[in-house]
């Protein structure tokens, strides 16, 4: 379902020899240098930042959304960055994230 709305790219940062070349600079450019990991950046097709996961009160990073407040903020990011994703799809994704935290 995520792949219908996003192109997912995983970049390694802060891992010494396994760093993805240029990832630290992209992390900085998208507002994640001080955010902690995981950090999510949402870019449009030109590479311009639409939003990032620093969507919690005070600009804190959501990280891996697991509690109700984080899931609500993450849902807001999905609504903002994937306008064709239906509310039902967002609810299904939130449930998958909740189940992932329970493991």
Per-residue pLDDT reduced to its tens digit, 62-89:
999 988 999 999 999 999 999 999 999 9
The pTM (predicted TM-score) of the whole model is 0.85
Pair of tokens at residue 86:
């239906």
Cβ-based neighbour number of residue 88 at 10 Å: 8
- The total number of structural domains that make up the chain: 1
Domain housing 22: 2-102
Q: Round to whole Å and give the CA distance between 94 and 96.
A: 5
At residue 83, the pLDDT reads: 92
Q: Which of 23-32, 71-80, 91-100 has the lowest mean pLDDT?
A: 91-100
* Mean pLDDT value across residues 49-61: 96
Q: How far apart are CA 7 and CA 5, in angstroms?
A: 7
CA distance 83 to 98: 22
């Amino acid at each position: 379902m995520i792949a219908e709305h996003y192109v997912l790219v995983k970049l390694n940062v802060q891992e010494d020899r396994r760093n993805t070349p240029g990832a630290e600079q992209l992390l900085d450019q998208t507002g994640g240098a001080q955010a902690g990991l995981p950090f999510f950046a949402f870019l449009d097709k030109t590479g311009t930042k639409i939003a990032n996961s620093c969507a919690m009160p005070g600009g804190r990073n959501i990280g891996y959304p697991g509690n109700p407040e984080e899931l609500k903020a993450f849902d807001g990011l999905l609504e903002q960055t994937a306008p064709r994703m239906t509310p039902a799809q967002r609810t299904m994704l939130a449930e998958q994230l909740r189940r992932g935290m329970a493991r």
